[in-house]
Amino acid sequence: MIAKTPVAKTAIAKAGRLSLLAALAIVAGTSAVQAQQSAEDFYKGKQMKFIIRSAPGGGFDTYSRLLARHITKHIPGQPTMTPQNMPGAGGITSANYMGEIAPKDGTHMTMIGQALPMDQSLGLTPTFKADLRSFGWIGNIGDSNVLTYVWHTSPTKTMEDAKKRETTLGATGSGDTSSWIPSVYNKVIGTKFKTIDGYKSGSEVKLAMERGEVEGFGSNPYSALMSASPQLMRDKQISILVQVGVRKEKDLPNVPLLSDFGTTAEDKAVLGFISKALAVGRPIGTTPGVPAERLAALRKAFDQTLLDKDFLSDAKKIGAEINPMNGETLQSLIGEVMGAPQDIKDKVKSVLPSRK
């Protein structure tokens, strides 16, 4: 056995350090190459997924599939995209999947419900684990008011009527506006709505309404109504009681805004916050942690898609309302909703039902 002299030990130590430095250099070099990989190189040959928060049928499914059919030809590298329905808990299941399980690489997209940014802001749903502030927001196909309406045979024709009699409304889950917004009407305005939860999609609620199981729909975005069931408006089969947004839909000038019903300063503040929160529409985004270049590529692809003649032709065929909001504006609006003053949030929370 050869004894290790001090000189030999020093040489061995230096060799070890050099080997470690060489290994670190290789890792750093590999990471740099990955970081510098262009969006086109990354997406080429990729199979993307569009996670749909509801069951097949209804507005979310219609709009999600419409975008999924057209956006990939504008994404660098032209990947393919497969829609995947993931219903559950009024959209919370799919949002949690995007936030916690889906790859954080820009290969997954989704469309969330209008209530979730407000839900994140107020922290009302314990089962909602995803953090919307960390999502990469791509855009919104249409800024559309939420409507509450009843079947034409219902004795309830106005919100004043709803103050005088119990009116049953169908809903799709605890995390969806259709479930909780009727409760806000009851507490702030004095209506007597009764919500029936458990329907898997908006199309199921509308079918239940037509069958007489419920009298109306707790909330349904105007764009979704016109894309999935335009005959309800065309044939005057429904009575629209209220619209929730910051301005009236151009086709509904005689339907009151929710904010019109505030009588006190506190009521106006509560209804104003809710109206602004739901103005985010149906945000379209990708997972947290997506590299900036890929997020920029997805935002650009979204903007280009909404100008694409084939997309617009398909949208017209299904009666889809196109009034886009870009990703930067959407990201800012969601930030504003979450950053609202705490006293306003506390007032809003006091009139919202608990959600599990």
- pLDDT tens digits for 271-323? 999 998 988 888 999 999 999 999 999 999 999 999 999 999 999 998 887 88
Q: Where in the chain is the domain with CATH 3.40.190.150?
A: 41-142+280-351
3-state percent breakdown (helix, strand, coil) of the chain, nearest 5 = 50, 15, 35
State the Cα–Cα distance between residues 171 and 178, nearest whole angstrom: 5
Q: What is the pLDDT of residues 171-196, one digit of tens each?
A: 987 667 898 999 999 999 999 999 99
CATH code given to domain 146-278: 3.40.190.10
Burial string for 305-343 (b: 16+ CB within 10 Å, else e) reads bbeeeebeeebeeebbbeebbbbeebbebbeebbebeee
Cβ neighbours around 106 below 10 Å, total:
25
Q: How many CA atoms within 13 Å lie on the side-chain side of 229?
A: 23
What angle (nearest 5°) sits at the alpha carbon of residue 86, between those of residues 179 and 51? Answer: 110
Provide the H-helix boundaries in 235-305.
265-278, 292-305
214 forms beta bridges with none
- DSSP H or E run through 80: strand 80-85
Contacts of 283 (CB under 8 A, 6+ apart): 111, 112, 116, 117, 137, 140, 330, 334
Phi, psi angle pair for 257, to nearest 5°: -80, 155
Q: How many CA atoms within 13 Å lie on the side-chain side of 53?
A: 29
Answering whether pTM is above 0.85, one says: no
Q: Where in the chain is the domain with CATH 3.40.190.10?
A: 146-278
Q: What is the pLDDT of residues 39-94, one digit of tens each?
A: 999 999 999 999 999 999 888 999 999 999 999 999 999 999 999 999 998 899 99
CATH topology of domain 41-142+280-351: D-Maltodextrin-Binding Protein; domain 2 (3.40.190)
Contacts of 276 (CB under 8 A, 6+ apart): 246, 336, 337
